[in-house]
């Protein structure tokens, strides 16, 4: 599985990648982007099976990225799971309305990553 | 009925948040670093703290949340997050401290009823060194918790504009 991790923190991108592996997912390649704009460029040139995306980022935030992703023909079916400190109910509703399929609050455990990501992947075989 | 001065009311509200601020920090360290924070039994010498991370709050509540620690402590935090030896951490140290501050801020605001949706966080800013000062333009109230991580001091504070 090819995973794109979008976060302005390189440390957090590494932690998310490690958590996915600890959750038992078979990751063949981890692609990284530092904001939504970079992530849009990645999905237009690479095959991606799953996206984990922060919300608060410079240049283009995660909610805007999810909205714009639906307009990219080659990428609009890729499941997106938000992974963010903005953990209020309002933010969850906003993210899911924008097109995200799951939501993980920071701080998180690998088990929480697993609980959110596996059902999303099951719905997108 | 005796009127409560708005500044005093803000101070009381802020002080009631202190246990939540400490809990928010403890949870972040436990989940993301696998480490426990202890309460500092002696006063923390501020002059040792040469790394500061700042996250801005805006909306129903505005102000700043600041995490201050030593370089040594910051390197240890990055090492724990990345699961490497602290001698092998480099530019990731500032990134890690900023992200920890960000997670404490998010975790803290999600513990206060109504603040989760009504308050936005900025991306973190990290300041290395001791030669700086932060000035709030608005009249503000500050609370802080003084903790130990691996026996090294750190201070988490929140300054709310009244």
Residue A24: Cβ-neighbour burial (10 angstroms; 0-12, 13-18, 19+): exposed
- Is the torsion defined by CA of B148, B152, B153, B157 positive or negative? negative
- Check: complex ipTM more than 0.85: yes
Name the residue among B82, B92, B110 with its Cβ closest to that of A87. Answer: B110
CB contact under 8 A, A84 and B106: yes
Q: Which of A48, A55, A42 is nearest to A83 (CA)?
A: A55
Averaged pLDDT of chain A: 92
CATH 3.50.50.60 is the classification of domain B48-161:
no
Q: What is the pLDDT of residue B122?
A: 92
Does B96 reach chain A within 8 Å, measured CB to CB? Answer: yes
Interchain contact B32–A (C-beta under 8 A): yes
The pLDDT of A13-30, averaged and rounded, is 93
Within 8 A of B109 by CB-CB distance, chain A residues are: 88
Q: Measured over all CA atoms, what is the biggest interatomic distance in chain B, rounded to whole angstroms?
A: 62
Q: Which of A85-94, B49-58, B74-83 has the lowest mean pLDDT?
A: A85-94
Q: Nearest Cβ partner of B107 from A11, A14, A107?
A: A107
Of B31, B109, B120, the CB nearest to A108: B31
Indicate yes or no: CB of A88 within 8 angstroms of CB of B110.
yes
Higher pLDDT, A64 or B132: A64
Look at B31 and A84 and tell me if their CB atoms are within 8 Å. Answer: no
According to CATH, the superfamily of the domain at A2-119 is Response regulator (3.40.50.2300)
- Determine contact: B150 vs chain A, CB below 8 A: no
CA distance to partner chain B, nearest, from residue A125 (Å): 30
| pTM recorded for the entire structure | 0.89
Domain boundaries, chain A: 2-119
In terms of pLDDT, which residue wins out, A124 or B52?
Answer: B52
pLDDT attached to residue A46: 94
Residue B127 banded pLDDT, cuts 50, 70, 90: very high
Per-residue confidence (pLDDT) for residue B134, from 0 to 100: 76
Extended strands (E) in chain A? 2-6, 29-33, 50-53, 80-84, 102-105
pLDDT-derived band of residue A125, with 50, 70 and 90 as boundaries?
low
pLDDT given at position A75:
86
CB of B65 within 8 A of CB of B156? yes
* Inter-chain touch B32–A88, beta carbons under 8 Å: no
3-state secondary structure chain B: CCCCCHHHHHHHHHHHCHHHHHHHHHHHHHHHHCCCEEECCCCCCHHHCCEEEEEEEEECCCEEEEEEECHHHHHHHHHHHHCCCHHHCCCHHHHHHHHHHHHHHHHHHHCCCCHHHHEEECCCEEEECCCCCCCCCCCEEEEEEEEEECCEEEEEEEEEEC
Cβ of B27 within 8 Å of Cβ of A107? The answer is yes
- Sequence ranges of the domains in chain B: 48-161
Distance CA B3, CA B62 (A): 24
Chain A residues contacting B via beta carbons under 8 Å: 8-12, 14-15, 18, 56-58, 84-91, 105-109
């Amino acid at each position: 599985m090819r995973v794109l991790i979008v976060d302005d923190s390189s440390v957090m991108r590494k932690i998310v990648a490690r958590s996915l592996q600890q959750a038992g997912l078979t990751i063949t390649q981890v692609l990284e982007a530092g904001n939504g704009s970079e992530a849009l460029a990645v999905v237009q040139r690479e095959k991606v099976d799953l996206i984990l995306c922060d919300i608060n980022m410079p240049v283009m935030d995660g909610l805007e990225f999810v909205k714009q992703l639906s307009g990219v023909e080659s990428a609009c079916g890729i499941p997106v799971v938000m992974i963010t400190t903005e953990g209020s109910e309002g933010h969850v509703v906003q993210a899911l309305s924008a097109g995200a399929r799951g939501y993980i609050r920071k701080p998180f455990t690998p088990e929480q990553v697993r609980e959110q990501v596996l059902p999303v992947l099951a719905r997108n075989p | 009925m005796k009127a409560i001065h708005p500044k005093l009311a803000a101070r009381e509200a802020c002080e009631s948040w202190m246990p939540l601020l400490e809990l928010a920090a403890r949870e972040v360290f436990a989940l993301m670093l696998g480490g426990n924070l202890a309460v500092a039994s002696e006063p923390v010498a501020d002059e040792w703290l040469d790394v500061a991370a700042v996250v801005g709050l805006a909306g129903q509540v505005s102000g700043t949340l600041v995490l201050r620690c030593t370089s040594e402590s910051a390197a240890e935090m990055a090492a724990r997050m990345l699961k490497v030896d602290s001698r092998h951490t480099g530019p990731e140290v500032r990134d890690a401290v900023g992200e920890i501050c960000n997670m404490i801020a998010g975790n803290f605001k999600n513990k206060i009823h109504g603040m989760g949706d009504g308050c936005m966080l900025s991306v973190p800013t990290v300041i290395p060194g001791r030669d700086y000062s932060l000035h709030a333009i608005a009249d503000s109230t500050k609370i802080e918790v003084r903790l130990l991580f691996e026996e090294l001091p750190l201070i988490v504070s929140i300054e709310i504009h009244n």
